[in-house]
Structure 1
């Protein structure tokens, strides 16, 4: 059981990192705009931003798990005044669309730089990939994001090692060049905080959805924290990598791609695939969450709404990657700071309540494991306790019971797969052999 909990936290961590990398630093333009453009001190800024992201990500995932949220609106309503909740909802909804069209523009610039394609062609290909993937459910989307993430980790670590090993002269040799880059937000510390706000407002919706698919708030928090630490390391490495190699970047729209191509042409071809997939990670996360949010009251309309907003974003992406990022990102960052303050203040004030909910779900898991285990006795008294415990949860009673029941079955299967009957046999029994959460069914004895 401990192993499976650790595995789930790792999966959450990879999904979290993958969600951020595309818009956070895959192209390198983001890193230069927020950190490298300030010279040597910008490396410290990257570290500061990474630490803030780790905390913010852990909190967002945990709040999603706490309320078993299907969209960010559930969390906002629970942690803030109704008026503020509506404002935050509007901010995040607009952000999902804004980051989405910036990613489509970045995809177009990436293939234009390496392959010489028209910018619209690379953006159109990304749009098609997003639409196809968006037809899947949240667990499959999370799995896709998690599987692709290791590619950028390998690329950044390998590039960092090479540049450091081959770098000649003092560490600050390119400082005078780096500080000539455009930095829309200054000074460096405010730029770092703005970047943190950008990440929060960009990722909170999908983080809440991913966290909401996890029954344990504790596992969600650990997953977010681990993912945040990994992201911090990657962000600092990417900043050092681009700072040391700044002389090779020129005026490329996608600096990371330009740097790797300057090392060896083959690396440029490999990196174009990695960067494109990282942009895809973020794009699918944005549009999937946006589609779910827009159709929260009418889930049946998700597919046409998802396709519609993705195509609308494709049209906006023609404004250009560089211009969009220089203006859109800072504005979103300031909005994200407000959102982060609301979430962090509520989380800090209710940490005891969150811990209590985590303990409650462990009790639910124990009771449901007892109910589902074919060799255990589940009494009417157990059924009453189960119902009362489920009703104490901050999450909807039926939702938390169903999710914890699935976890209980998974635990039993992990202990001994032969204990549980086949699915068709279970269906044949009609569930009449055990007590339900409402205590109305006959107890097993």
Structure 2
């Protein structure tokens, strides 16, 4: 049985978390301009504040998913809140799926309009068709291929940061003028930062809880979230600095990152347009596919028409324009995300001793299971009783917890085969 080293697990988890946060909005640079660089130097501090909140909340979300071994976000919402609050949080996630979907279609139109001078409706229509067709196929395989673009986005941020630092403007007056004329939709800078954190976490919460639910040990989930959040904070601060220093270059552009790369070199702009469009697709297909499945959970045979209908409605709404949708829809989602984030963080703080006990309990259960499966070690009736009691006290179902811990146990398969080969 292949297992991941305990030292590598937090790194693997952190990469998954970063992949959830580095979406199409981040890749275009539009979110960063709207929430951070428009404030100038304070915007960089805002990026740090947002990153701090996202690091803490991301670690908590992943850990809660692990504590309850969640296979969907509703498992955690129902476990930590009153039914009406769980319903409210679930509705927030559903609304976010749809809103982010039609914003992505608008972003697709804006991207091709800026680089190819295509009509906005055509770029959005092309994306809607691609999403509509692939959403009826094996979407997991398609999305997995496209999600390989995420490391390219991270690389693009590092490269553009290095280029910007090596070519700092000698005259800062145009930069200051661009910042003065900028009109962030939300202020002051610290409130804008908190709103961004709420937005990003609301977009990521569903998959965060599911990823956490695939991990048997809550401590590893927490460390992975903290590490991923720290790395994302650095990337966010780097991109904020770039968008601030290059404000005169991308002023008024719907897709700032594309404008900055085109200014570096025309070929770089052409390369970036494919990266951004692929990221937009990856986000859009994920949102519309998840929404279609959720709306037809009780009638899965209705998935195809409902999915296509949501894409069509999303395309119609995208005609409001990428910039308009970004500056109106995202702040509203950000407020909802702030409520959700505050609720989960407060719940975690209040129940941290209970969670700490669960962390130790998982280690104890894992050790007992390891002892039971090892033919070279004694496993007595007392051990069996201790195992049963620990499993019954756990926050997760006993059979599900045992399967999860056994699957992460090193060399269990070898031990079982060795035990089977021993003579009776």
Q: TM-score, normalised by structure 2?
A: 0.88
Name the count of aligned residue pairs.
420
Q: Which residue in the other structure is 2:131 paired with?
A: 127
Q: Which residue in the other structure is 1:327 paired with?
A: 328
**Is contact 1:134–1:284 with CA below 8 Å preserved after alignment?**
no
The DSSP-based 3-state class of the residue aligned with 2:345 is helix
Q: RCO (CA 8 Å, sep 6+): is it higher in 1 or 2?
A: 2
**Is contact 1:257–1:271 with CA below 8 Å preserved after alignment?**
yes
CA distance in 2, matches of 1:384, 1:297: 40
CA distance in 2, matches of 1:70, 1:126: 28
CA distance in 1, matches of 2:300, 2:349: 33
1:364 aligns with 2:350: no
CA distance in 1, matches of 2:345, 2:84: 18
Aligned-residue offset at 1:348: 0.6
**Is contact 2:136–2:304 with CA below 8 Å preserved after alignment?**
no
Question: Which structure 2 residues correspond to residues 1-16 of structure 1 after superposition, within 5 A?
Answer: 4-16=5-17
Q: Which residue in the other structure is 1:440 paired with?
A: none
Question: Which structure 2 residues correspond to residues 204-215 of structure 1 after superposition, within 5 A?
Answer: 204-215=205-216
CA distance in 1, matches of 2:137, 2:28: 22
CA distance in 2, matches of 1:159, 1:363: 48
RMSD: 3.2
The DSSP-based 3-state class of the residue aligned with 2:383 is helix
Aligned-residue offset at 1:317: 3.0
Aligned-residue offset at 1:421: 3.6
Question: Which structure 2 residues correspond to residues 331-410 of structure 1 after superposition, within 5 A?
Answer: 331-408=332-409
**Is contact 1:35–1:239 with CA below 8 Å preserved after alignment?**
yes
Provide closer, same or farther for how the CA distance between residues 392 and 376 of structure 1 changes in structure 2, counting only shifts above 3 A: same
Q: Which residue in the other structure is 1:229 paired with?
A: 230
**Is contact 2:128–2:312 with CA below 8 Å preserved after alignment?**
no
Q: Which residue in the other structure is 1:412 paired with?
A: 411
Q: Deviations over 1:250-270 (max 9, x none)?
A: 422111011101110111122
The DSSP-based 3-state class of the residue aligned with 1:4 is coil
The DSSP-based 3-state class of the residue aligned with 1:69 is coil
Q: Deviations over 1:83-141 (max 9, x none)?
A: 2221121112111221122123223322332234422244236515862686439xx97
Provide closer, same or farther for how the CA distance between residues 60 and 322 of structure 1 changes in structure 2, counting only shifts above 3 A: same
CA distance in 2, matches of 1:341, 1:348: 11
CA distance in 1, matches of 2:386, 2:177: 68
Q: Which residue in the other structure is 1:47 paired with?
A: 48
Provide closer, same or farther for how the CA distance between residues 325 and 294 of structure 1 changes in structure 2, counting only shifts above 3 A: same
Aligned-residue offset at 1:222: 1.1
Q: Deviations over 1:359-379 (max 9, x none)?
A: 111122222223334544544
Q: Which residue in the other structure is 2:21 paired with?
A: 20
**Is contact 1:101–1:314 with CA below 8 Å preserved after alignment?**
yes
**Is contact 1:134–1:288 with CA below 8 Å preserved after alignment?**
no
CA distance in 2, matches of 1:279, 1:67: 32
Q: TM-score, normalised by structure 1?
A: 0.84
**Is contact 1:133–1:284 with CA below 8 Å preserved after alignment?**
no
Q: Which residue in the other structure is 1:438 paired with?
A: none
Q: Deviations over 1:223-278 (max 9, x none)?
A: 11111111111111111111111111142211101110111011112212222333
The DSSP-based 3-state class of the residue aligned with 1:167 is coil
**Is contact 1:21–1:278 with CA below 8 Å preserved after alignment?**
no
Provide closer, same or farther for how the CA distance between residues 357 and 33 of structure 1 changes in structure 2, counting only shifts above 3 A: same
Aligned-residue offset at 1:284: 4.5
CA distance in 1, matches of 2:292, 2:6: 30
**Is contact 1:14–1:149 with CA below 8 Å preserved after alignment?**
no
Question: Which structure 2 residues correspond to residues 236-275 of structure 1 after superposition, within 5 A?
Answer: 236-275=237-276
Provide closer, same or farther for how the CA distance between residues 384 and 340 of structure 1 changes in structure 2, counting only shifts above 3 A: same
Structure 2 runs not aligned, ≥5 long: none
Provide closer, same or farther for how the CA distance between residues 365 and 296 of structure 1 changes in structure 2, counting only shifts above 3 A: farther
The DSSP-based 3-state class of the residue aligned with 1:268 is helix
Provide closer, same or farther for how the CA distance between residues 372 and 320 of structure 1 changes in structure 2, counting only shifts above 3 A: farther
**Is contact 1:209–1:289 with CA below 8 Å preserved after alignment?**
no
Aligned-residue offset at 1:160: 0.8
**Is contact 2:65–2:213 with CA below 8 Å preserved after alignment?**
yes
